[in-house]
Structure 1
Amino acid sequence: MGNVNASENGAAAAATPPPSLIQEDKNPGSLEDMHKKCKDVFPMFMEGYKFLVNKGLSQHFQVSHTLTLSNSMPSGYRFGSTYVHASRVMSPQESYPIMVGDIDMSGNLQAHYLDAPSQNTRCKMIAQIQQGKWQGCQLSGDYKGSDFTSSLTLANPDLINGTGVGVLQYLQRVTNKIDLGTEFVYQSSPQLPGGHIAALSFSGRYSGPDYSLASTISNSGAMHASFWQKCSDDLQVGTEIETNIKMQETVGTVGYQVDLPRAGLLFRGAVDSNWNVKGVIEKKLQPLPLTLSLCGLLNHPKGSFQMGAALIMG
């Protein structure tokens, strides 16, 4: 949760990792990342224009400035900051605690706090304030064993009124290629029929070094299946099917990613069964510390087209 890149010299990189890190490689990860490799291939569309500046003020502190102009999302200026204390270094890619904040001109604030009390535990807290009022919070914790991960998440817990959402997840590595997991979701609220509702889902994944086949099925009638394949160092493809039996809706998506690091070029494209075609191209404007991103969305049945552009500095 919340990886932060850390640089190391060549000697440290070539050294044999400690036993704790070798053991961590057998961990299947968290259940929420079951379909992550496939999702990462699909383009993230943004309508409008965005200008983002990232500035590192010190080894531990970084700020960002974002200016957005859009019809589909809130426009305006946002200020963000990231602080990494690095008092607990779990691996070359993980240092804790981490504090992340983001605020806009209307005072809408979202804050994250991430920590690792031990080598096997991770915890995170998210707080939101909108229009000067407390909107809600989320508390989560992970325990990573040698071959399993268990997670507990609480959203807007109110012990006095007995309301809130709880999510319990467990993912077990059965063999070197097979992972099995389950998720239990419980919500309590006076607005719900009977005052509460619960859902149970099961997940499975069969994966290798260059492929991943995952599936999730829930007693609420939702099903999700995905497949990811790394064809070469430059090309990755992915496909997924999401079905809701109660709503009688099914959406299938096929996407691909082409990464050309030598040219500083990254392209993602996808098309779904509703004939929505998405594409995102990112180009590093070397030697300047700038990245230009252009994206488009075309809906064939409606004959509509949307476009977005972003310029990232730093």
Structure 2
Amino acid sequence: MGNKVSAETPVTPAAPAVEVDKNPGSMEDLHKKCKDVFPMAFEGYKFLVNKGLSQHFQVSHTLTLSNTAPSGYRFGATYVGASRVISPQEAYPILLGDIDMAGNLQAHIIDAPTKNIRCKMIAQIQQSKWQGCQLTADYKGADYTANLTLANPDLISGTGVGVLQYLQTVTSNISLGAELVYQSSPQLPGGHIAALSLAGRYSGPDYCLASTLSNSGAIHASFWQKCSEDLQVGTEIEANLKMAETVGSLAYQVEIPRAGLVFRGALDSNWNVKGVLEKKLLPLPLTLSLCGLLNHPKQSFQMGAGLIMG
């Protein structure tokens, strides 16, 4: 006789299904994983202090001494509200701004009216004059993202730049998208110009291959690979067929968490060599940054040192 299951036998409840986010992100982040591997080198000395005044408000002080970039003091402030909490990592509105001793100001306002819509405004003031404004709106669907950006729009004179982007998840590994850029200005031949770009990305758990092709002859391709927990590599090619110019770059990132050490290095086809070393000076809340930039054909060398507190 077969074994009978008792009616009192407890039934193990099925584990809840893990919801997979199929949103591909925005076109701006298409090459982000590769870009994050490349070092951000600077020349001279930099001292940065970040101070949190409350749970929502933070200020920063930056002192820079350089021969190639404007030197001086900059003050920055960041406010993160809690009126609209989308996720533990997303809370809105967000207000960011920084200003230097000459009165040059750059401000950002980011908000999320709904769960799917993100709005951003960027304003710049230089030499006490209004320099420019940029308005951006993102709509994030279940498996796509649509983006509209307007830069320096002037409805009276009919000038400005408009950018329309769309990125769609096709499969779990493939995303395809397009970008349309339209610019209107009296300085342009015919008064306006437009460019169309097609983009694609093939990604996996530890790699990402992305490419962008424009009808203006611009090509941008990148590849990112996570080789181990401590090593990441990235390579990219940027070409302009009309100008007959091509630049290839290779970068890597080595991270040693136990030592609080991160090193990023890069080499491009113009023989520019970059390296940035970041070391956390535990138990102090300090991070030491050392970087170097060497150009072999020009026989020039630049070095930078920075200290970040907070």
How high is the TM-score relative to the length of structure 1?
0.92
**For residue 139 of structure 1, what is the amino acid of its counterpart?**
L
2:309 corresponds in structure 1 to 313
**For residue 26 of structure 1, what is the amino acid of its counterpart?**
K
1:162 corresponds in structure 2 to 158
Over 3 Å counting, the alpha-carbon distance change for 1:134 and 1:17 in structure 2 is: farther
- Taking the TM superposition and a 5 Å limit, the aligned residue runs for 1:1-314 are 22=19, 25-314=21-310
Q: CA deviation at 1:175?
A: 0.1
Q: CA deviation at 1:255?
A: 0.6
Q: CA deviation at 1:304?
A: 1.0
| SS of 2:36 mapped into structure 1 | helix
Q: Distance in 2 between matches of 1:216 and 1:40?
A: 18
1:9 corresponds in structure 2 to none
Q: Distance in 1 between matches of 2:126 and 2:236?
A: 35
Query: Deviation digits for residues 108-127 of structure 1, max 9, x if unmatched?
Result: 11110000011111010001
Q: CA deviation at 1:303?
A: 1.3
**For residue 171 of structure 1, what is the amino acid of its counterpart?**
L
Query: Deviation digits for residues 206-235 of structure 1, max 9, x if unmatched?
Result: 000100011110000000111000000100
Q: CA deviation at 1:17?
A: 10
Q: Distance in 2 between matches of 1:282 and 1:98?
A: 28
Unaligned runs of 5+ in 1: 1-15
Q: CA deviation at 1:85?
A: 1.2
Query: Deviation digits for residues 117-153 of structure 1, max 9, x if unmatched?
Result: 1111101000111111111100001000000000000
| SS of 1:71 mapped into structure 2 | coil
Q: Distance in 2 between matches of 1:161 and 1:245?
A: 33
Q: CA deviation at 1:300?
A: 1.1
| SS of 1:59 mapped into structure 2 | coil
Q: Distance in 2 between matches of 1:299 and 1:160?
A: 47
**For residue 206 of structure 2, what is the amino acid of its counterpart?**
D
Q: CA deviation at 1:258?
A: 0.5
| SS of 1:288 mapped into structure 2 | coil
**For residue 163 of structure 2, what is the amino acid of its counterpart?**
V
Report which of the two has the higher share of helix.
Answer: 1
Q: Distance in 2 between matches of 1:60 and 1:154?
A: 29
**For residue 261 of structure 1, what is the amino acid of its counterpart?**
P
RMSD of aligned C-alpha atoms?
Answer: 1.4
Q: Aligned residues, how many?
A: 296
Q: Distance in 1 between matches of 2:56 and 2:17?
A: 25
Q: Distance in 1 between matches of 2:117 and 2:262?
A: 35
Q: CA deviation at 1:18?
A: 11
Q: Distance in 2 between matches of 1:86 and 1:290?
A: 29
Give me the identity figure in percent.
81
**For residue 241 of structure 1, what is the amino acid of its counterpart?**
I
| SS of 1:194 mapped into structure 2 | helix
| SS of 1:302 mapped into structure 2 | coil
How high is the TM-score relative to the length of structure 2?
0.94
Q: Distance in 2 between matches of 1:178 and 1:127?
A: 35
**For residue 237 of structure 2, what is the amino acid of its counterpart?**
I
Query: Deviation digits for residues 242-276 of structure 1, max 9, x if unmatched?
Result: 11011100110011000111110000001011111
Q: Distance in 2 between matches of 1:218 and 1:195?
A: 21
Shift >3 Å, 4+ stretches = 16-19
**For residue 233 of structure 2, what is the amino acid of its counterpart?**
V
| SS of 1:161 mapped into structure 2 | coil
Q: CA deviation at 1:48?
A: 1.0
Over 3 Å counting, the alpha-carbon distance change for 1:196 and 1:17 in structure 2 is: farther
Q: CA deviation at 1:308?
A: 0.7
Q: CA deviation at 1:311?
A: 0.4
Q: Distance in 2 between matches of 1:100 and 1:34?
A: 24
